[in-house]
Structure 1
């Protein structure tokens, strides 16, 4: 197996980080780990994993064009882990027409059937 660094920016090898989740060998036990694995899933175009980790009441239909961006790096700015809901603020960079852009989001995650799932972006976080 590859010893390349995980694209999520954790500094861990891919095999010991997000690949555990994307391959189905484990499920993230924190909202931040889930958010990092979702970044990797977007980078790989892994729609099944994204659907599995999105709250089922809110999960949109994912078109192939939704997964075409070339995601290049991730920075977790801060995260607050709660018992039933958690918040992760991050910045993700992607290439569009060979120009690097970034998006900033504050994401809400909730426990659903004992697993963390992505719910929605939040407008702000104190």
Structure 2
């Protein structure tokens, strides 16, 4: 029996990839790794992890209704890692009424208490 693949699209087993972050065994050390783990958290309904990895200044009130979307796959287009801010551009696909839809976002990440956190979508970035 093979291990479940990680929803983030890395090709690695979940336990050896984002599962380490979702379980609290480790914390992502890059914005891209955090982005991937947040996708895995959305896909698996891990609300606590999403709150923990969201900038407290921009984190909305979240509840289980926010996790009803069935996310199907992730593609990281590009990632620019910096010291004070990082940017990750990605496409994520989800199912709605048995039809797959695409979400495209350029996300801003920044350090908070020595850990990367998701700030929100970035507009106007080339």
TM-score normalised by the shorter chain: which range applies?
Answer: over 0.9
Separation in structure 2 between the aligned mates of residue 84 and residue 10 of structure 1, nearest angstrom: 26
CA-based RMSD of the aligned residues comes to 1.3
Q: Which runs of 4+ in 1 moved over 3 A?
A: none
Q: How many aligned residue pairs are there? A: 126
Separation in structure 1 between the aligned mates of residue 9 and residue 91 of structure 2, nearest angstrom: 11
Consecutive unaligned residues of structure 1, counting only runs of 5 or more, are none
Deviation at 1:65, TM superposition (A): 2.0
Judge which range, 57-66 or 98-107, deviates more.
57-66
Q: TM-score, normalised by structure 2?
A: 0.96
Q: TM-score, normalised by structure 1?
A: 0.96
Consecutive unaligned residues of structure 2, counting only runs of 5 or more, are none
- Please name the residue that 1:23 is paired with: 23
Separation in structure 2 between the aligned mates of residue 32 and residue 75 of structure 1, nearest angstrom: 11
Separation in structure 2 between the aligned mates of residue 78 and residue 34 of structure 1, nearest angstrom: 14
